[in-house]
Amino acid sequence: MTDEHPTRPNKNAHPRLEDLAGGVAIVTGGASGIGYALIEAAIAQGMHCVIADIETEAIRSAEDNLRAPANEAGVELLGYTVDVSSEESVVELADAVSSAFPDTPISLLCCNAGVGGGGGVLTARDIDWDFVIGVNVKGVANCVRTFVPKMLSQNANGAVVTTSSQDGICCAQGVYGVTKHACVALTEALYNEVQGALSVHVLCPNAVATNIVTSERNRPERYGGVAQGTPPSGTKPNPIAERFKAFGMAPSRCAEMVFDAIQSGEFYILAEAPDDPGYVYLEAQTRMEAILNKGLPSRPKSELLTKVFNLRIPLPDNE
């Protein structure tokens, strides 16, 4: 097989974390959830951090909260408002990073910004497809195209991590699932193209306790904008959002798994939730077996996702 694909690398660079220290970590969607946890972990590893996000207020509050640990670690923070679905905006981000850190290599690029929703493939409007593909797929492509050539030209150790989902490796559901499959595919293609010069990884988590359910708060104007009547984030209880927070795994656990994978060279990071162990693996296995055995698409039952989506199951405090 190897001879038929002479350009396919058979290694994933896995730099020691000490080698990434002192460099810059750029995390899109860094002001909330998994991205915020990745920034916290990168600070702890001694990297200067760029909190790149579409929500300016959330960036400011992240900067306030992270200033003390950053000072303690002796690293700098740069908060920058970006819309990853716009190539122009990502290029502006790159200029800001070059100005702030002119002589410092980019050690880590986390293409993590993403939005949930979009609906089913039968009901989603053209503009819904554009929104979710724009952020979840083109957002990753824009950042990869803008930053990876710079990272390759540095001749230094570096890692690229994209955030897909368990939805990216199991039988797909809805527009979101389609985009998360595309994110896995994009990351595999990137792995092939960098040929081992950088470490490449895709994070595929089960449900995480973040703000993903209220993603519509960030719908840019050209994708229809925030729908009239959408309450500002956090002002009106959203039962599913509450349940993600109550049952989902800690974002810090995802960050821990990402840094472990960078060191081990693991490409597919199956971020299993502690109370649903082995589920993401089982999803991947179920899909692959269906493909290989001429079966039909199906998803195994998840204890965690049942708790998250079944409103009849009481929240932990009420148990």
Ligand X SMILES: NC(=O)c1ccc[n+]([C@@H]2O[C@H](COP(=O)([O-])OP(=O)(O)OC[C@H]3O[C@@H](n4cnc5c(N)ncnc54)[C@H](O)[C@@H]3O)[C@@H](O)[C@H]2O)c1
- Among positions 15, 23, 29, 118, the unique one binding ligand X when judged by CB under 6 A: 29
Residue 61 and residue 85: Cα distance in Å, rounded? 23
E-state strands within 83-176: 106-111, 159-163
Q: Hey, what are 251's tokens? A: 């974002």
Check: CB of residue 165 under 8 Å from CB of residue 204.
Answer: yes
Confirm or reject binding of residue 233 to ligand X (CB under 6 A). Answer: no
> Side-chain half-sphere of 238: how many Cα atoms within 13 Å?
18
Q: Buried b / exposed e across 175-210, counting CB within 10 Å, b at 16+?
A: bbbbbbbbbbebbeebbeebeeebbbbbbbbbbbbb
DSSP string, 278-290: THHHHHHHHHHHH
Shortest distance (Å) from residue 205 CB to ligand X: 4
Please, which residue, 15 or 36, has the CB nearer to ligand X? 36
196 to 215: interface string for ligand X, x by CB under 6 A = ---------x-xx-xxx--x
Q: Hey, what are 179's tokens? A: 């985009």
Interface with ligand X in residues 46-75 (CB under 6 A): 53-55, 58
71 to 100: interface string for ligand X, x by CB under 6 A = -----------xxxx---------------
Shortest distance (Å) from residue 176 CB to ligand X: 7
Shortest distance (Å) from residue 37 CB to ligand X: 8
Please, which residue, 28 or 45, has the CB nearer to ligand X? 28
Q: Buried b / exposed e across 23-51, counting CB within 10 Å, b at 16+?
A: bbbbbbbbbbbbbbbbbbbbbebbbbbbb
Confirm or reject binding of residue 248 to ligand X (CB under 6 A). Answer: yes
Interface with ligand X in residues 157-186 (CB under 6 A): 163, 165
Shortest distance (Å) from residue 6 CB to ligand X: 34
SS3 at position 271: strand
Confirm or reject binding of residue 146 to ligand X (CB under 6 A). Answer: no
Confirm or reject binding of residue 258 to ligand X (CB under 6 A). Answer: no
Please, which residue, 55 or 76, has the CB nearer to ligand X? 55
Confirm or reject binding of residue 218 to ligand X (CB under 6 A). Answer: yes
Confirm or reject binding of residue 142 to ligand X (CB under 6 A). Answer: no
Q: Hey, what are 59's tokens? A: 């960036």
Question: Considering only CA atoms, which of 55, 63, 53 is closest in space to residue 26?
Answer: 53
Please, which residue, 23 or 114, has the CB nearer to ligand X? 114
Integer CA distances (angstroms), 105 to 46, 95, 187, in order: 13, 14, 21
Please, which residue, 15 or 33, has the CB nearer to ligand X? 33
Please, which residue, 83 or 130, has the CB nearer to ligand X? 83
Q: Which residues bind ligand X (CB under 6 A)?
A: 28-29, 31-35, 53-55, 58, 82-85, 112-115, 135, 139, 163, 165, 205, 207-208, 210-212, 215, 218, 244, 248
